[in-house]
Amino acid sequence: MSSLNGSTSNLTQNQNPLVADRDVRTVLSVTPCVVFLYVNGVMLFTLKKKAVFQDSSRYILFGHMLWLDTFNLLMSVVLFVIAVSRISLLKVVCVILLVAATVIYQVSILNLALMSLERYVAICFPLRHADITTFRRTHMAIGVVWMISWIKPMSELTIFYAFDSTNTQVNLLCSKTTFFRLPIYKKLDVAFACIYFVSVCFIVIFTYASIAIVAKSASGDKISAKKANKTVLLHLIQLGLGAASILVDVIFVRTDVMTFLNVMYFCFITFIIFPKCLSPLIYGLRDQAFSSLFKYYFTCAKGKIKPVFIEGHI
């Protein structure tokens, strides 16, 4: 009996550091998400307070990015907490969560291309910008992006329900590694990652180069062109972080469990949480018209006069 108690005590002592480490990581991951969910909420509220924010294609796409980043943060936190807590879910619930996370993530990548193209039209074709980027066309472009983003998850679901017989459990740990086990899923990940990221990267680089040419030319609004070029450069950095998050999972060789968990946690913070937290704040504060109104509502308008709208540039 004493030896059994001693073994139990040693097991408990060995588990305590792991549990404490897990709790610390959970707090460090969830806390910034909660803070920036509030920031995103204030930004979305600000976009509803001015008619120009709802009619301009620039602000429509910015608002779309805010919604996507908000849902991305929510889905990331939910899946992270489920994974670290080792909570078993019904298969249908897990399918809904994974499909939603995949679609939203891919829409956020493709939305970068739309935002870059909008800046390209605004700088390179300023006289036709209002005619090309109308309210209706902007929403149609967003709708097309959403339809394209459903191709990969629908392909995975078709394979899963029609051909995959490796996972017959009703309750399971909800993650892509435990849910989609066949090699075909990894091939789909690589194929669609290459298609999406190469396409978006081409668009972003093309718009960056085109705007740079305008910025160096003797005619045109050079200040606006330089601001637009910095915006497109931010899109390229975001795209690079998104590509890195996928490539790490594809090329990383799994050694021991702890090393794998440490690398995945680092990638989760660096490539998923960090960009989704900071990118809306960076874009919002770079726009003069939006930032002044955002600061007014963020501080709950305490002791401040509501700012007058002055058009700025994202």
Q: What is the pLDDT of residues 256-303, one digit of tens each?
A: 556 666 776 777 777 777 777 777 777 777 777 788 888 888 777 664
64-73, 88-97, 168-177: lowest mean pLDDT where?
168-177
Report the Cα 234 to chain-centroid distance in Å.
14
Model pTM score: 0.81
Sign for the CA dihedral angle at 230, 235, 238, 243 comes to: negative
Six-digit token string for 259: 């090393």
Is pLDDT above 50 for 6? no
pLDDT tens digits along 185-233: 888 888 888 888 888 888 888 888 888 888 777 555 666 777 777 778 7
- Minimum mean pLDDT among 5-19, 57-71, 190-204, 225-239: which range? 5-19
Quick one: pLDDT band at residue 50, thresholds 50, 70, 90?
A: confident
Helix/strand/coil for 158? helix
CA distance 259 to 244: 18
- Give the pLDDT band (50/70/90) at residue 87: confident
3-31: average pLDDT: 56
DSSP output for 297-310: HHTTTTT-PPPPP-
204: left (phi over 0), alpha (psi -120 to 50) or beta: alpha
Per-chain mean pLDDT for the chain: 77
Say if CB 129 and CB 121 are below 8 A apart: yes
Q: HSE-up of 45 (CA within 13 Å, CB side)? A: 13
Predicted pLDDT of residue 15:
47
Q: In which band, very low, low, confident or very high, does the pLDDT at 2 lie, cut at 50, 70 and 90?
A: very low
CB 234 within 8 A of CB 275: no
Per the listing, tokens 């390179």 go with 124
- When pLDDT is averaged across residues 91-95 and rounded to a whole number, the result is 82
Report residue 237 as tokens: 């950095």
Rg, the chain, Cα only? 23
Measured CA to CA, the distance from residue 89 to residue 171 in angstroms comes to 5
**Res 311: pLDDT:** 54
Q: What is the mean predicted confidence (pLDDT) over 48-61?
A: 86
CA distance 21 to 31: 16
**237 vs 86: CA distance, rounded Å:** 33
> Is the confidence at residue 80, as pLDDT, over 70?
yes
- Overall average pLDDT of the 4-23 stretch: 49
What superfamily would CATH give domain 26-298?
A: Rhodopsin 7-helix transmembrane proteins (1.20.1070.10)
Percent of the chain with pLDDT over 90: 10
How far apart CA 62 and CA 39 sit, in angstroms, is 14
